[in-house]
Structure 1
Amino acid sequence: DEDKIDFWKETVKTKAMKGVQLFADKSFDSDFIRSYGVASLPRFILIDPSGNIVNSNMYKPSDTKTAKILADLLQ
């Protein structure tokens, strides 16, 4: 539905949301939701450069635990 997409785009813009923002156009029937095992939204997923899921239930980027996880992965 175009209205939902437009509302989502405007929200991302007005809230200056960082990172990759995706719209689940089919709600929980979308390929993305099924592929990544998403059970609730919003969801933060850590994906490596090869496209592999490192953590499918990641903390918010602003959470201090995120920095620790990333630092551990980079060692």
Structure 2
Amino acid sequence: MANTNYFFMKATTYLVFILALCGTSVLKAQSIASSQQLAVADHIFIDSANRQHSLREFKGKYVYLDIWASWCYPCRKEYPLLEAMAGKLDTTKIKVIGISLDKTSWRWKGALTGVGMKGTQWCVTDTLFEHQLQINSIPRFILIDPAGKVQVRDMTRPSNPATLKTLQNLTFKKS
């Protein structure tokens, strides 16, 4: 009987400890999520002419972000599909933006011309953006809502036929 009580007390203590950790983790995740929403909209990117931009330029529109790098073969393989998909979207309601994680602008600019990338292409040269969105692999696709908040942090790729349908449904006017 004494062994059973000891085991029960020990198990209860561990359970309370685990629940406390989970509660703290959930609150921390919520706090990180709200700070990410601000950071994503305010983060500064550069274009190929070295002009600065932010996602605030597209407030009121959905933004489908393509996170890529010049050295990433799967990223470059997705690009033609991304370009074809972008041509089928209502650009008054959704914007497709490529964000390169290349650390040097010459690699990024070389990929832009080498692959013939069109549309809005920006580069981020620091790692803050990657850390805030917990980007640990690419290609990564992120959906930003019209308020500038991350709606889907790991969106499907352009090679997935469901992606086009999902994006078109977001911008379809409901009567």
TM superposition score normalised by structure 1 = 0.65
Letter in 1 for 2:111: T
RMSD: 2.5
In 2, Cα distance between equivalents of 1:52 and 1:15: 30
Give unpaired runs (5+ residues) of structure 1.
none
Alpha-carbon displacement from aligned partner over 1:5-43 (angstroms, at most 9, x marks no partner): 2011110222133555444534xxx11112212121221
Higher percent of residues as helix: 2
Letter in 1 for 2:142: I
Q: Relative CO higher for 1 or 2, CA cutoff 8 Å, sep ≥ 6?
A: 2
The count of corresponding residues between Structure 1 and Structure 2 is 70
**In 2 relative to 1, CA 67–53 (structure 1 residues): closer, same or farther, beyond 3 Å?**
same
Q: Which has the larger radius of gyration?
A: 2
Secondary structure of 1:38's partner? coil
TM superposition score normalised by structure 2 = 0.33
Written as runs of structure 1 = structure 2, the 5 A alignment for 1:14-53 is: 14-18=114-118, 20-26=120-126, 30-53=127-150
**Offset of 1:60 from its aligned partner?**
2.1
User: Percent identity over the alignment?
Assistant: 34
Give unpaired runs (5+ residues) of structure 2.
1-102
Letter in 2 for 1:17: M
